[in-house]
Amino acid sequence: MYEKNPVAGYLEKAAAETAGLEWETAARIVDILAEAILGGSRILVCGNGGSAADSSHFAGELAGRFRMERRGFPVVSLSSDSAVITAIANDYGFEKVFERQVEALGSPGDVLIALSTSGTSSNIVRAAEKASEKGMTVIGFTSSLCTEALWADVHWRAVSAETSHAQEQMIITLHGICHGLEVLLADKT
C-alpha cells in the first residue's frame, strides 16, 4: 500500500511545479500574437500527441472564445485535420506533416506556435524552419529538458522535465495567453 495516495501525490507535485511558472515570456507572446491579429495575420499551431490535442484546444479558445465575448481570432491547428495529416504522411513522410501545411497556409507576418515537450521532434523543427523561411515568427513551447530551441524566435520552457507536468504547465500558460489576448484586444477588435 502507498504511504500517500498516489493521486494526491501527483496533484501535489503538479501544483508545486505550477507555482514556479515564468510569465514574462508568456506576456511577450501575447504582444506578438496581438500584433499579428491586429495586422491581419494568422496564427498556426502544431504539436504531436498530447501537444496535438493542446494545439487544437488553444486554437478553439482563440477562434471561439476563452472568457470574453469578442470576434474570433484567425488561428488554425495544423494537428487537427486527419485527412491532411495522413495524406502528407503517406506521400512525403510524417516528418513533413506540419512543414507542408506551413508551406501551404503560412504567410509573412503570420505566427507559428510549435508545442514539443522534447523540443527535438523532426516534424516540429522542420515546420519551424519552413515558417522562418516564409518570414513568420516562430514561438516554441517545450519542457525544461530543451535548454535551447534554436528553431524558435521565442522559447517558453515549462518548469518540469516530466512530460505530463510540462504539458499541464503549457496548457495553463496557453490559457493565460488566451486571457491576455482577450483583455489586450477587448477594445481593439
The Cα 20–Cα 125 span in angstroms is: 27
What's the predicted TM-score (pTM) here?
0.94
Judged against a pLDDT cut of 70, whether residue 180 lies above it is answered with: yes
Of the CA atoms within 13 Å of residue 134, those in its CB half-sphere come to: 25
Rounded Cα distance, 120 and 105, in Å: 23
Contact 91/33 with Cβ under 8 angstroms? no
Grid cell in block for residue 178: 488566451
23 band by pLDDT with thresholds 50, 70 and 90? very high
Contact 45, 176 (CB under 8 A): no
* Domains, in order of start, for the chain: 23-185 (3.40.50.10490)
Q: Which tens digits make up the pLDDT trace of 31-83?
A: 999 999 999 999 999 999 999 999 999 999 999 999 999 999 999 999 999 99
Whether 108 and 136 have beta carbons less than 8 Å apart is answered as yes
Binning pLDDT at 50, 70 and 90, where does residue 144 land? Answer: very high
Q: Which residues lie across from 154 on neighbouring strands?
A: 139
d(CA 106, CA 40): 13
* Share of residues in the chain with pLDDT > 70 (%): 98
* Confidence band for 1, pLDDT divided at 50, 70 and 90: very low
What are the strands, taking DSSP E only, across 79-158? 111-115, 137-142, 154-157
